Amino acid sequence: MKKLPFVLASLLTGICFGFSTQVIGQNSFSLEEVMSNSFPSSLVGDAHNQRVAWVFNERGIRNIWVAEAPDYVGKPLTQFTEDDGQEISNLQFSQDGTRILFIRGGAPNRQGEIPNPLNSVQLADRSIWQVFFKGGDPEKLLEAGNYTLHPSQNVIAYAKGKSVFSFDIDTQKEPRKLFTGRGSPRTLRWSPNTQNPSLALVSTRGDH
C-alpha cells in the first residue's frame, strides 16, 4: 500500500481529531446519567394470558411492575424506595392469579453471606415474598432462596440447608419437611402433572 505524504497524513489526522472532539462534545454525558439508566428484566406471564410482570430497576431501586389485559399499561406493584442492592428474582404468578411470588435478596457467597452493599448493621437475607394485585404492602413469607410453585395449588416447595419443605401460601401454617438428602438441593421443579406431580431437583455435593 502506498504511503501518504507526511504533510497530507498530518492534515488528515488533525481533521479527524477535531471532528471527533466536536462529536464527543456534542454527545457528552455524565457518569450519573449512565448509572441512573432504567431497565426492565425477568419478564413473566400468567397462565391465563391476562397479566405480565417484570422487575424494573430505576436508579438502582428494584421494583415489580405489572400490566394487565387488554391495554397492558405498566404500573408498579411494589414500592421499595431504597437503592440497597437487593435483587428481585424468580417471579411466579400464584395458581389462583391473585398475587406474585418472588425472591428478594442476592445469592450467598461461599461463606453463605448475602450481599449487603450498604453495610447495614441489620444483615440482609434472601427470602420468598408475595404481593397481591388488589394492593397492599409486599409480605415476606419465609427465608429461602430456591422455590417452585405447585402446578395446581397455592403450595410451594423450597430448599433450605439439606432439606426440602412444602409451604401453603394461603394458610401459612408451619412448613412440612418433605425429605433431607446428603447434598444441597437446588433448582427445584414440579412436573406439569396437576393430579400427582413429581418434584425434580439438583443435588450439589462437595466433591461431585
Tell me the pLDDT tens digit for each residue of 54-87: 999 988 899 999 999 999 999 999 999 988 888 9
Closest CA to 54 of 125, 102, 96: 102
Spatial contact of 89 and 73, defined as CB atoms under 8 Å apart: no
User: 163 pLDDT exceeds 70?
Assistant: yes
Is the model more confident about 77 or about 49? 77
**18 — pLDDT class (breaks 50, 70, 90):** low
Looking at the DSSP bridge assignments, the partners of residue 21 are none
Question: pLDDT grade, residue 182 (50/70/90)?
Answer: confident
pLDDT at 110: 81
pLDDT the model gives residue 127: 94
Going by C-beta distance under 8 Å and a sequence separation of 6 or more, which residues neighbour residue 44? 52, 53, 54, 91, 92, 93
Q: What confidence score (pLDDT) does residue 36 get?
A: 72
Is the distance from CB of 140 to CB of 149 less than 8 angstroms? Answer: no
Q: For the chain, give the percent of residues with pLDDT over 70.
A: 87
Mean pLDDT of 85-101: 92
Question: Tell me, what's the pLDDT at 25?
Answer: 53
Residue 69 has which C-alpha cell? 389485559
Distance CA 160, CA 175 (A): 11
Average pLDDT, integer, range 128-133: 95
Give the residue ranges of DSSP H helices in 41-157: none
* Integer Rg of the chain from CA: 25
User: Is residue 42 predicted with pLDDT exceeding 60?
Assistant: yes
